[in-house]
């Protein structure tokens, strides 16, 4: 599933960036050497980042 249509970033691409340390949508774009175009994907990226942080926090407990 595409998260960012403008840059062709799929859900797995965003997930890889987050696993590599991306903490903000800006970091996800930098990881893939692109930039936000229309920014419609930013909210979904933020949600993915938060969900990943939450799951890591649960795993650490």
Question: What is the structure's pLDDT at 54?
Answer: 96
Per-residue pLDDT tens over the stretch 5-39: 999 999 999 999 999 999 999 999 999 999 999 99
Domain positions in the chain: 2-60
Question: What is the structure's pLDDT at 61?
Answer: 78
Question: What is the structure's pLDDT at 1?
Answer: 95
Q: How confident is the model at residue 40 (pLDDT cuts 50, 70, 90)?
A: very high
Q: Which of 44, 27, 43 is nearest to 35 (CA)?
A: 27
CATH match for 2-60 among 3.90.220.20, 3.10.20.80, 3.50.50.60, 1.10.10.1100 = 1.10.10.1100
């Amino acid at each position: 599933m595409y998260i960012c249509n403008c840059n062709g970033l799929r859900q797995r691409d965003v997930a890889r960036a987050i696993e590599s340390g991306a903490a903000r949508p800006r970091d996800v774009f930098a990881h893939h050497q692109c930039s936000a175009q229309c920014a419609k994907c930013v909210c979904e990226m933020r949600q993915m980042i938060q969900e990943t942080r939450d799951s890591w926090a649960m795993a650490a407990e």
